[in-house]
Chain A
Amino acid sequence: MLTIQEVEHVALLARLELSAEEKKMYAQQLGDILAYAQKLNQLNTQDVPPTAHVLPLKNVFRDDEAGEHLPPEKVLANAPDKEGQFFKVPRIV
């Protein structure tokens, strides 16, 4: 089981506001899943390389050629709030 403080720290990193019940629930559930994940420690992986990509691809590039921009009305069409051609957000600090 995770501590409530650990849950709160992770929630802040992930930008999630959790209720007291949610914190309790996730402390329990994440603890269970992580305990289950401990199973991996049965394996000695000292000399095993990690696999981040399954395909043996490398050096995929595009050429430095300009494409089309989205017209501004489409850029902003989904914006929850805007001002002129800017997206608008509450104050930063």
Chain B
Amino acid sequence: MQLYYLPVHELHTMLAKRQISAEELCRAFFERIDSVEEKLKAYVTLTRENALEQAREIDRRIAGGEQISPLGGIPVAVKDNLCTEGVRTTCSSKILYNFVPPYSATVIKKLNAAGAVILGKTNMDEFAMGSSTENSGFFPTNNPWDPERVPGGSSGGSAVAVAAGEAAAALGSDTGGSIRQPAALCGVVGLKPTYGAVSRFGLVAFASSLDQIGPLTRDVTDCALVMNVIAGHDPLDSTSAPGQAPDYTGYLKNDVRGLKIGVPKEYMGEGISPAVKQVIERALATLATLGAEIEETSLPHSEYALPAYYLIAPAEASSNLARYDGVRYGYRAEGAADVVEMFMRTRSLGFGPEVKRRIMLGTYALSAGYYDAYYLKALKVRTLIKQDFDRAFARYDVLLSPTTPSPAFKKGEKMADPLQMYMSDICTLAVNLAGLPGISVPAGFVDGLPVGMQLIGKPFDEGTLLRVAYTFEQNTDYHKARPGI
């Protein structure tokens, strides 16, 4: 197989054995990027010179006899809502088209410390609002399995980069499914960690109580390796969980015997395409054969997750995005007579339609007279949704569902109807509302398009998710398939 299609753990072995240099590896990835990027448009910014310099530094360290860490010299991509000191960070928004942060996100500092080579910043739905990467303020990204289709979103660029060999691994962010959904549609592994497991410091906020950073990788082992670098307490994030993160690779056991897997019937019902359902049923059969105990269960408030989410997330977003006003950084509309006019024009020209729609919605939900009816109501329903999961986890080790209701859809198909687009996330939203970990792993194909299986775990039990996902992966071949691009 081509270098650029190998998983991180294999590349690491080659680097450690000096079968290849980090610089050669880096150049191989840039060659790949140069050959497919025009068709896919995964990146907003490439950091070629920085990357090669980082790679040469790793080579010097290897030459000096240093043991490199598992991500040392590995070419990775990061979503463009993670602040990178000295490198443009746009959130794929015109309002931040020229913003160069003077500081780096905690996860970026950790990647740097681990010796990872950052190739560039990936495209996304503007401010992470969307499920198709069509809401990018710059250009849409295409699915490598069928460039006429969307890669999912909002971390579409990161998913495509990994799926098409434009990066060995990537970071994304997930507020309602933004890592898992594109991972599923592009046939890669995507983990949204438990809320608080990974520091949010330096992640440009969309909805603060829901946002988490996580890895997109070729396989489950790589997922654990990336988690080992990015997880852990950060004193700069008040919502960061205390204590030390575990060694996630310790959970990579090919054994699910005796594990209890619950399948919420609401996630296998109406709205899920029959073909996707079939894929999931086959996956369940595989896990049963391997010794897992599988039962149908219920999360009775599931149907309320979508409306609750679309009040809570926009409300937080309306406040988080208030700072983009043209005063301190980013775009400013010219020629305004006074500050109010400058604010209004800057924001109207700087934000795209979906961002404005959500700011409007969130502002409305928080405004006088509507707070109790909409926002407070949604927070209460959030409690009920969380309680559903608490009850389920009293009986089951993990829950299993499709990641998305259908495989990748055609570009433009859902752009006219926001509610239809929001439905793409019906299997993933509730996990963010409850703050739980969720992983999507490749589970099969429908008409040549990848389908993802979602595993949902107890808080801070990424371990069991990784174990089930790893076992499934070791006994199937879906993760080895590569798009023919």
Closest to A59 in B: B238
Please, what's the 1-or-0 string for B375-387, where 1 marks a CB less than 8 Å from any CB in chain A?
A: 0111111111010
User: What are the residues of chain A within 8 A of B250 when measuring CB–CB?
Assistant: none
Contact present for B327 and A80 (CB under 8 Å): yes
The CA of A40 and the CA of B435, in the complex, are separated in Å by: 20
**B427 interface residue per 8 A CB criterion:** no
**A20 interface residue per 8 A CB criterion:** no
The CA of A81 and the CA of B334, in the complex, are separated in Å by: 10
**B99 CB, nearest partner CB in chain A, Å:** 6
Contact present for B360 and A7 (CB under 8 Å): yes
User: What are the residues of chain A within 8 A of B339 when measuring CB–CB?
Assistant: 89-92
Please, what's the 1-or-0 string for B252-273, where 1 marks a CB less than 8 Å from any CB in chain A?
A: 0000000000000000000000
Question: Which of A16, A43, A91 is packed against the most chain B CB atoms within 10 Å?
Answer: A16
User: What are the residues of chain A within 8 A of B434 when measuring CB–CB?
Assistant: 54
**B376 CB, nearest partner CB in chain A, Å:** 6
The CA of A57 and the CA of B241, in the complex, are separated in Å by: 8
Interface band, chain B: 35 or more
Contact present for B332 and A40 (CB under 8 Å): no
Number of A-B residue pairs at CB separation under 8 A: 162
**B308 interface residue per 8 A CB criterion:** yes
The CA of A60 and the CA of B418, in the complex, are separated in Å by: 38
**A45 interface residue per 8 A CB criterion:** yes
The CA of A80 and the CA of B360, in the complex, are separated in Å by: 25
The CA of A93 and the CA of B337, in the complex, are separated in Å by: 9
The CA of A91 and the CA of B336, in the complex, are separated in Å by: 9
User: What are the residues of chain B within 8 A of A43 when measuring CB–CB?
Assistant: 301, 304, 381, 384
**B347 interface residue per 8 A CB criterion:** yes
**A66 interface residue per 8 A CB criterion:** no
Chain B residues in the interface with A (C-beta under 8 A): 98-100, 102, 195-196, 209, 235, 238-239, 241-242, 301, 303-304, 306-308, 310-311, 318, 322, 325-332, 336-345, 347-348, 351, 353, 356-357, 359-361, 363-364, 367, 374, 376-384, 386, 418-419, 433-435, 459
Q: 13 A-B Cβ contacts within 8 A?
A: A14-B322, A16-B360, A34-B361, A34-B374, A36-B310, A40-B378, A49-B383, A50-B380, A55-B241, A55-B459, A77-B102, A78-B99, A90-B339
Chain A residues in the interface with B (C-beta under 8 A): 2, 6-7, 10-11, 13-18, 22, 26, 29-30, 32-34, 36-37, 39-43, 45, 48-55, 57, 60, 62, 70, 74-75, 77-81, 87, 89-93
- Apart from A14-B347, A26-B356, 15 more pairs, CB < 8 Å: A17-B347, A18-B348, A26-B357, A36-B310, A37-B378, A43-B381, A48-B380, A48-B383, A48-B384, A78-B100, A79-B327, A89-B342, A90-B339, A91-B337, A91-B339
